[in-house]
Amino acid sequence: MNKSTNNNFSNINIHASAPGKLTLFGEHFVVYGNSAILAAINKRISVTLSPNKSNSINIKFGRRKLAARFSEIKSSKLIPRSQAFLYPVLNSIASAKEELSGLSGLDVLIESQIPHGEGLGSSAAVCVAIVGALQSLVHKEGKANIFEAASQTERLIHKNSSGADCYASTYGGVLLFGPNFGNKQISIKGKLQFLVCMTGIKHKTQNLVSKVKRMKDKNPSKFSELAERANDICFKAKSAMITGDVYSLGNLLTENHKLLQKLQISHPRLEEYIEICMNSGALGCKLTGAGGGGAVIALLPNQNNSDTLLRIQNKIPNSMLAELDYKGVHLDQSLNSEKKF
Ligand code: PMV
């Protein structure tokens, strides 16, 4: 971050929020430079920063709390693994310390609508929201800066991250993400309605990424054959979205899931949910994100979808409709009159 002089930190609250995401196509393969399609969704993580005079950083994230002296925040590496949820917050504060030098203390309140560990991008959204809030506090602007700093921070949680989740959370919309092809917004024709069915089986992205890497190292030619097919699916899916061909899109989702089965990152509960969704009239279905648990996404038909929805929700109560988000990270400030902490 640039050094900012003349910062007056008193009397303001900074709010930033960032959306979660669905990986529609290409997870895992994207770690190796292939394409993926992600969609930001209307479930957000919000961060409120309130400068205080107490000389300490007080973080509240759900039921979890941490207080540390401002002068002690050097690096997230000092924090035990059990407090990994704090890495993005502490690391972002440590990186901005020079610019925050006029600050005595800070209350950080984090609130989440994104279920954690279900592959819906909650870690990336925390990184994007905290970085966005801190950049706003030191009057630094621009989504490109937020994406850059947030994706570096996310690599502390999951070191081989492709950066795709942070990209979707920063910019919003539906994105074709590809480190080797450039990142592009896709303009969708018509409406896409996804039902997210959560297994409640939490996954660790880093472990699943390592599992896929072992498989790739053991059998590189099989992996590159699957990666090529996944790339092809991504490009066909992009065309189906542009033309509004939801039936092809549904088939492509299901086809992508078959490749993920071959990577051995599915789970019996995910397979059970996929069968329920397909038997209830979904147009296509797949696991989303790292796998090994987490969630299934089902594309609903545009017409008469309430029957399909009811049939699925009767059997999978822990499911939610996801609307697409086009805002990405959102920042605003207010006077520090009413304290939320
Ligand atoms: O399950 P999530 O939300 O952590 O998504 C992981 C997606 C991967 O492609 C497996 C990893 C990555 O960095 O893109």
Q: Mean pLDDT, to the nearest integer, of 52-77? A: 78
Residue 212: CB within 6 Å of ligand 1? no
How sure is the predictor about 5, in pLDDT bands with cuts at 50, 70 and 90?
Answer: very low
Query: What is the pairing mode between strands 56-61 and 105-112?
Result: parallel
165 in active site: yes
Domains and CATH numbers, the chain: 13-187+326-332 (3.30.230.10), 193-323 (3.30.70.890)
Residue 137: CB within 6 Å of ligand 1? no
Q: Which two tokens stand for residue 293?
A: 């648990």
Hey, is 218 helix, strand or coil? helix
The span from the CA of 34 to the CA of 231, in Å, is: 6
**How far, in Å, is the centroid of ligand 1 from the Cα of 339?**
35
Residue 284: CB within 6 Å of ligand 1? no
* Nearest-atom index, ligand 1, CA of 162: 13
Mutating to test ligand 1, I would choose from 21, 27, 154 the residue with most ligand atoms within 8 A of its C-beta, which is: 27
The span from the CA of 190 to the CA of 192, in Å, is: 7
Contacts of 179 (CB under 8 A, 6+ apart): 30, 33, 162, 163
Locate the DSSP E strands across the chain. Answer: 12-25, 36-52, 56-61, 64-69, 105-112, 174-177, 184-185, 194-198, 284-288, 295-299, 319-322, 330-335
pLDDT tens-digit series, residues 224-238? 999 999 999 999 999
Contact by Cβ (8 Å): 175, 238: no
Contacts of 76 (CB under 8 A, 6+ apart): 86, 87, 88, 90, 91, 94, 156
pLDDT tens-digit series, residues 229-270? 999 999 999 999 999 999 999 999 999 999 999 999 999 999
pLDDT for residue 1:
40
Residue 290: CB within 6 Å of ligand 1? yes
Angle between helices 220-243 and 205-218 (to 10 degrees): 120
**How far, in Å, is the centroid of ligand 1 from the Cα of 30?**
9
* Nearest-atom index, ligand 1, CA of 203: 1
Residue 31: CB within 6 Å of ligand 1? yes
